[in-house]
A and B are shown apart, each in its own frame.
Chain A
Amino acid sequence: MDPHSLKKLNALRRERQAAILLTDLGDGRDRVVGEGDAVAGALGEAVACAFRSGKSGVAEVDGRKFFLNVHLPAPRLVVIGAVHISQALAPMAKIAGFDLTVIDPRTAFASPERFSDVVLHAEWPDEALARQPLDAYTALAALTHDPKIDDPALRAAFEAECFYIGALGSRKTHAKRVERLTGAGVAAEALERIDAPIGLDIGAATPAEIAVAVLGAVIRALRTRGLQAGSVSA
């Protein structure tokens, strides 16, 4: 392995950027490809596919064998609101492999008794997110129904280009939210990114079922990143 490739790869991994170490198994030469870097032709398609699936493997292109070792940052899920749905969502997200954080300034909700074994910040989203910023491998679910708490978190999620942004609330509540955020200067394209009413449409009724719907939507967003944009081939 080229020492420069190793340094570059580790630097990207430390910054929570997705990267692939591409090794030509014929001559042993390698290079690091960041997500979004252009790679031409059939190899480019293999690279794009590996970024989406997160799966490493051998690809044969034009009679040459390449090994694509995919390094994706561990996906995070930040939940705004220490509510009943969050209590059900926390263990489910953990099982699915997500690093979960719950943020809620209302200390009666964000109590360690209600959320044992969960990273819990009993503070305003601005404060908590200043310490651990959102990024492209983070999903945000706003579940408080309270604009004072949810709205700043949603704006932070737009800025960080979170791979999933969802907000709890009926269509009516969401329409008000869109109106409010538009008034605050948020662009229409950003607002269209909000999954609301939150979660997959599976007829969820109980808090636990809504948690399943939310987690399903988060996983779908993670595994289909970039597909909608049509940016598969370079």
Chain B
Amino acid sequence: MSDLVHKDDARDPLMIAEEWMRAGRDVAIATVVETWGSAPRPVGSHLVIDTEGNFEGSVSGGCVEGAVVAEAADVLAEGKARMLEFGVADETAWEVGLSCGGRIRVYVERLG
């Protein structure tokens, strides 16, 4: 399935990032750099985000995208990359997390 997404430029996050960049939009790129246990998306998966909060791609199949998009807004504002880590959701703290029980590390950086 990932191969199909790969060949489809219209849905390829890095192709979309380039297109957004050409259109003059500020873009952040989030990348899954490490996974432990059962992770929904493989290492190397991308989510691209612009300043309006538009996003394409995925780093977790929906579990933590909201939190990554929020962090990306800060990264775009400050310009400094950050490393995020997500594990199982902590119910008492209302944190976002991965219901599947794995842990992922996501690198969020600004394009340019």
- A10 touching B112 by the CB < 8 A rule? no
Whether, in the assembled complex, B96 has its beta carbon less than 8 Å from a beta carbon of chain A, the answer is no
Give the number of A-B contacts (CB < 8 Å): 48
Partner of A10, one of B14, B43, B107: B14
- B43 touching A57 by the CB < 8 A rule? yes
Contact A55-B3, Cβ < 8 Å, known A6-B111, A10-B15:
no
Chain A residue with Cβ nearest B15? A10
Partner of B112, one of A2, A13, A67, A74: A2
Partner of B33, one of A1, A6, A25, A55: A25
Chain B residue with Cβ nearest A74? B3
Chain A residue with Cβ nearest B19? A10
Chain B residue with Cβ nearest A23? B107
- B44 touching A70 by the CB < 8 A rule? yes
Instruction: Give bound CA distance, A2 to B14, whole Å.
Output: 12
Kindly supply a per-residue 1/0 record for chain B positions 29-72, scoring 1 wherever the CB is within 8 Å of any chain A CB and 0 otherwise.
Answer: 10101100000001110000000000000000000000000000
Contacts of A3 in B (CB 8 A): 21, 111-112
Kindly supply a per-residue 1/0 record for chain A positions 49-86, scoring 1 wherever the CB is within 8 Å of any chain B CB and 0 otherwise.
Answer: 00000011110000000010110001000000000000
Q: Range of interface residues on chain A? A: 20 to 34
Partner of A57, one of B21, B34, B110: B34
- B18 touching A69 by the CB < 8 A rule? no
- A56 touching B44 by the CB < 8 A rule? yes
Chain B interface SS verdict (over half): mixed
- A74 touching B6 by the CB < 8 A rule? yes
Partner of A6, one of B3, B18, B44: B18
Whether, in the assembled complex, B17 has its beta carbon less than 8 Å from a beta carbon of chain A, the answer is yes
- B14 touching A9 by the CB < 8 A rule? yes
Chain A residue with Cβ nearest B33? A67
Kindly supply a per-residue 1/0 record for chain A positions 1-23, scoring 1 wherever the CB is within 8 Å of any chain B CB and 0 otherwise.
Answer: 11100110110011000000001
Contacts of A67 in B (CB 8 A): 31, 33, 107
- B7 touching A10 by the CB < 8 A rule? no
Contacts of B107 in A (CB 8 A): 23, 25, 67
A residues neighboring B (CB under 8 Å):
1-3, 6-7, 9-10, 13-14, 23, 25, 28, 55-58, 67, 69-70, 74, 97, 99
User: Which 8 pairs across A and B sit closest by C-beta, in order of nearness?
Assistant: A56-B44, A28-B81, A56-B43, A74-B3, A3-B112, A67-B33, A69-B44, A1-B111
